[in-house]
Structure 1
Amino acid sequence: MKTLRENLRLADNMLRSEERDLLTLARMSQRDAFTFYRGADLTGLDLSGQNLKGMNFDKADLRFSNLDAAQYDPGAFNGSVLDKTQKWLKDDFEFYDDDLDKHNNLEILIFIKFRPGLVDGILDWLGVTNASFAKSADVSKNALRKARVGDVVAVDTAKSIVDTARFAIKHTDIDDPEEILERLRQPYLQFLGGGSNAPFFSIPRLQYEELVRLRGQLVEAWGDREGGGGRWRDTPKSLEWHMRPEY
């Protein structure tokens, strides 16, 4: 851990520098470039043409900044504060793999989509076939194919794919595994409600957090059937019903 004096020296060097490249400045800080700008005020900056790959801007304020021709990883701006002209920077894949780890599907039934091409990229990087990876992950070959093309899969399937991919990347003799692990640090999952002959629908992060909060309140009030109380597994639609003003 750096001392206060060392941190002040690094900060002073950055402030005195004429450098305007965000990646270079992040590296000057000697901190993790991926998380360095999270929550930062980056309003009104000219970032056009910059290489922003390997960085994540969760909760950073980028309103009125020029990002024309900037290079960035898909999902890097999904948690950012953006103005109306910048909404094209976002997509529906707002969730990280640790969100998947934390989710209890016995409490709220959801489904998962992977960002199309991500799982394909992992298999290509590892040099493995669909069949061999499916066997390692203990999922069906058809389920893995669905994940590869961004079709809907079950939570347990998604968790098995993610866990197997991370283990394989870290324990396979391939060049620079950090490059592909960086891709897995960005949000690449979509949470979905629906199923059981009903159409699937995307659950935005803020809505998901509200569903989790509401279910916690209902369990506190009514108990949890699995734990001997009176609550069962909810769906997003059943919880939305409790959100109605007249409820």
Structure 2
Amino acid sequence: MSKRSIYLDGVMTTLLSDSHDLRFLAEHSGFDPLTFYQGADLTSLDLRGQDLQGLNFDSADIRFSQLNDIKFDRGAFNRSSISSDQAWAVDHYDLSASDILNHDSSSIFVFVQFRKGFVDKLFEIIAIPYSQFSGQADVSTVAIRKARKGSTVAFQTAHSIIKRFSDIVSESSPSDLPFYDVPRLRGLLTQPMAVFMSGGINGEFRPVALGKMKSLLGFKRYIDEQRNFTSSEGDSKWYRETPEGLLWFRQYYKDYDWPDGANDI
């Protein structure tokens, strides 16, 4: 059967279905169920009791929809438009796997905190001992335990854990499915699951939102240029700032155009 036929079968199944089950419709659409509803208008729907696990709703509008008793992956609605009475479906964890893997850790010194229980969900899918994963990811079992508990860990620890799970997704073949539920694992890695943390030296850790971190990285590049502290390739010369240090510097660079809300951690 051609890809076009498979696509058309999916479209017809969706159009002719009497089902209002979002997961059923996504799985029979012919598209990737995980991303099927990203950017969709899902306002004023009755979704009570539905199982929405494995779906992501980035940029979707779910305002005024009834979400009572739904099952979903935490983080699935973190980047959606929601009503005030749906705030329970959103938390402050705003980093997905790609955000962690692509972060420039050489510029700003930060830590990471995973949502409590998230790393355990990943281990439930791959079903291998922590000691074996520890060797594969080059991370101590103590650090893995801290990540599982939702404690703050070093950025490199978080990066190594997520990279290994992402590698499992890319390495797995259909024959691995009895052991690795690849679509489920990929779905969880797509959802926001962690947050940058700052501090820890003579003080408590504090979350740093992803948007603010991007602003700080932009400011870091700016002050490097002002101080001529870059190499010929344009990279920072082997030094890192903390978020607090960068915010302290702003008094000396008052001409820098900070985005709204980016001044505070």
Common fold, TM-score beyond 0.5?
yes
Equivalent residue of 1:184, what SS?
helix
Aligned partners of 1:124, 1:17: CA distance in 2, in Å? 33
Aligned partners of 1:220, 1:245: CA distance in 2, in Å? 14
**CA shift digits 1:77-109 (9 cap, x unpaired):** 111111211111111221111111110111111
Aligned partners of 2:44, 2:69: CA distance in 1, in Å? 16
Give the direction of change, closer, same or farther, for the CA distance of 1:22–1:123 in structure 2 (3 Å limit).
Answer: closer
Matches within 5 A, 1:38-77: 38-77=38-77
**CA shift digits 1:180-225 (9 cap, x unpaired):** 3432232211111112223211122332232233334334444444
Residue matched to 1:201? 206
CA deviation after TM superposition for structure 1 residue 53, in Å: 0.9
Aligned partners of 1:66, 1:31: CA distance in 2, in Å? 25
Q: TM-score, normalised to structure 2's length? A: 0.78
Aligned partners of 1:80, 1:244: CA distance in 2, in Å? 35
Residue matched to 2:242? 235
Deviates more, 1:11-20 or 1:174-183: 11-20
Identity of aligned residues (%): 35
CA deviation after TM superposition for structure 1 residue 119, in Å: 2.4
CA deviation after TM superposition for structure 1 residue 176, in Å: 4.6
CA deviation after TM superposition for structure 1 residue 133, in Å: 2.8
Equivalent residue of 1:131, what SS?
helix
- Would you say the 8 A contact 1:56–1:186 is kept in 2? yes
Residue matched to 1:188? 193
Give the direction of change, closer, same or farther, for the CA distance of 1:121–1:67 in structure 2 (3 Å limit).
Answer: closer
- Would you say the 8 A contact 1:61–1:82 is kept in 2? yes
Residue matched to 1:159? 159
Give the direction of change, closer, same or farther, for the CA distance of 1:229–1:188 in structure 2 (3 Å limit).
Answer: closer
- Would you say the 8 A contact 1:222–1:230 is kept in 2? no
Residue matched to 2:179? 175
**CA shift digits 1:227-246 (9 cap, x unpaired):** 68887422222333456799
Give the direction of change, closer, same or farther, for the CA distance of 1:131–1:11 in structure 2 (3 Å limit).
Answer: closer
AA partner of residue 175 (structure 1): F
Residue matched to 1:108? 108
Deviates more, 1:49-58 or 1:203-212: 203-212
Residue matched to 2:257? none
**CA shift digits 1:46-101 (9 cap, x unpaired):** 11111111101111111111111111111111111112111111112211111111
Gaps of at least 5 residues in structure 2 are 255-265
Give the direction of change, closer, same or farther, for the CA distance of 1:216–1:62 in structure 2 (3 Å limit).
Answer: farther
Q: TM-score, normalised to structure 1's length? A: 0.83
Give the direction of change, closer, same or farther, for the CA distance of 1:34–1:230 in structure 2 (3 Å limit).
Answer: closer
Deviates more, 1:204-213 or 1:125-134: 125-134
Residue matched to 1:85? 85
- Would you say the 8 A contact 1:34–1:55 is kept in 2? yes
Gaps of at least 5 residues in structure 1 are none
